[in-house]
A and B are shown apart, each in its own frame.
Chain A
Amino acid sequence: MIVFLARRLVTSVPVLIGILFVTFLLGHLIPGDPCRAVLGERATDVVCDAFIARNGLDKPLPEQFVIYVSNIVRGDFGESLRYSRTIMDLLSERLPVTMELGLAAMVFAVTIGIPLGIVSAYKRNSALDVGTMVGANVGVSMPVFWLGLMLAYIFAVLLKDTPFALPPSGRLPAGYQPTPFYEVWSLLQSGASPSNLMVFISRFNILNAILTLNGDLLISALRHLILPAVAVGTIPMAIIARMTRSSVLETLGQDYVRTARSKGLRELAVVINHAVRNAMLPVVTIIGLNFGLLVSGAVLTETIFGLTGVGRTLVDGITARDYPLVQGFTIVIAVAFVLINLVVDIIYGYLDPRIRLS
């Protein structure tokens, strides 16, 4: 296992370097003069020369790349042109929004997708199976931003004044400022400012609501999260349901399942302990691979649901030509993607000894 872990870690190093290189190139390939992009069209040559020298833009490219990497390793992604704040600061503010959304979407996708897949495999060719598979095919084909808009219309307009009405935008009711957990718990000495980590954690509304035992806040945050999470989670759910179905179908036909049945085990035990358990390996991989879908889902739906998360900030950054921001956010997302794939591979290796031995 340790050899497998080490080998897997080593192979992700070139990929990480590649990501840094691609984003570095991204910054250099963007047409136009970097100085005038940052300081404005009217910057004089003197000012620009000073800017170029200050930012090391006159050095050879390999040297610039080394400086770039060493800055990033120290957590310095530079400063956003648009917000005049560090990228790190913006990330710590907006990451919780997207992480909450992604996690909720994944919970939705897994808790609905896996049972649906199991049941339709077990009741193969029944109305439920056909319905699920048609639904899964349609679900995979839907543009996530369209689904988001339609959900907003259905739950905020058509179902208005019914108990099913859901808020179509924002994370909390307008103007509502939740009390951070560190203030409720009086963790701070009087006058001291909270640590970055505390602030970061308190920005997860649901976690904060649980920590402060605030039921109203929890319900409100959850209600706001349902529509975007369903929009982002629908495609992964459809994929997971399909994968689970075909995987369970395969294991249901195996000899060990027949053996389990012939031992006189209860049907539920046969299905859950023998068929489903062995069918979960590919499903785990698919769940991990869906992270990319969550990211693109977040990029496309945050704008629709008025959530200031990583995705929306990135899209706004592109339209505002805020290149340091686009660069920084891209790196963080890509690195997270690599790390998640790494974790999935490790889980996979742990679950299936054949993988780590090959």
Chain B
Amino acid sequence: MSRRVALALAVLAASLVSPRARAAPPTEVVIGAVYPLSGNLAKVGNDIKDAIELAAELVNDDVDLPVPLGKGKGLPNLGGARLRVVFADHQSSPEKGLSEAERLISQEKVVALMGSYNSNVTATASQAAERLKTPFLNADSTSPLLTARGFRWFFRTTPTDDEFSENFFKFLGEMKKRGKAIKNVALFYENTLFGTDVSKFEKKYAQQYGYPVVADVAYDAKSTNLNAEIQRLKASSPDVLLQASYTNDAILSTKTMKELDFRPQAILAMDAGHVSSEYVPSLGKDAEGVLSREVWALGLGAKKPIVRQVNELFRKKTQAARGQAIDMDGTSARAFVGLLVLADAINRAGSADAEKIRGALESTDLKGDALIMPWQGVKFDPKTHQNTLGGGILVQIQDGKYVVVYPFDLAAAEVRWPLPAWGK
């Protein structure tokens, strides 16, 4: 076994000094990326890796796509220097994330870091970057705590759970403007960290936006039945139900709502169970009309052709790398954009100097139409370094498919409101 590893290392070393590598442009900029490349999140981690590599290829090659740095080879302000990304595997372990980040900075001499998907790993890896004064760009961890730390070297492009919750209430405001009578909401959530955290934000924004919470029902996701819970919700007759559920309980609750004839005007779900691949097949037409938050959807391509173009490239890339064409999803799309944001900053910095790159990140101002996200753009808050122009989308189950319905300028179809009567 160890002989085989030694052999593999020898081959790797040989390939690094091969003529092809020596013929590479004289200058290159190295970026480190710490992600879960093995273990139970290996699939997600490798999707991210392919997305980041695809983004780096678009920067390095001359491509005719309206993405930042698509045209021309490499980074123009650094004499066409190429981007190289070094990946490290944190296996979903915060300690590994920390040590790998340190290793990339001190041994691989990376000018900036990206990572790390799991919020808890991002927390430790970015601590290492903060200490070693290296810019850290996070594209995919949604825990609001990360930017609340006020780190100097940490930047986040993705919206947080907090903003996703607020998005619900912005949407309700829009629906009110369209003449829907929405006076109150009820909260219904599973009682572990996911559900209770979400409910805290929803309570905060319900108060802020002036919607009384008429019922606040936490439940155990492993319950044999949800009769009592749904009865309580029904007794409070809310206009809108905000729900956060995993898969089995999302299915059970929908069935129980039908049995007890509970039908608010709308159900706004916090993704998870309501967008799992089993929800619609299990419920058929009873799933119709449910709204859920999403970070991204392939359906955005209806209004943004660039989404489709990038997705095609991603499918080719995954086919070549892993023998299986994979569609982009919210995670890979955010990682893709993350690298472009970092490349844009390095280019504007015109240098591989850490402090200059940090300054350039702070003055980032990218427009939404150059990105494949449903965002207005990327611009970091001067204090927290949270992207202030991010936003989520809402999808609705229409005729068995998830269709983008909000924000309206990106919508592929009109919102169906209110929910249809049961069985209709």
Tell whether A and B belong to one assembly. Answer: no
| Chain A interface (Cβ < 8 Å from any Cβ of B) | none
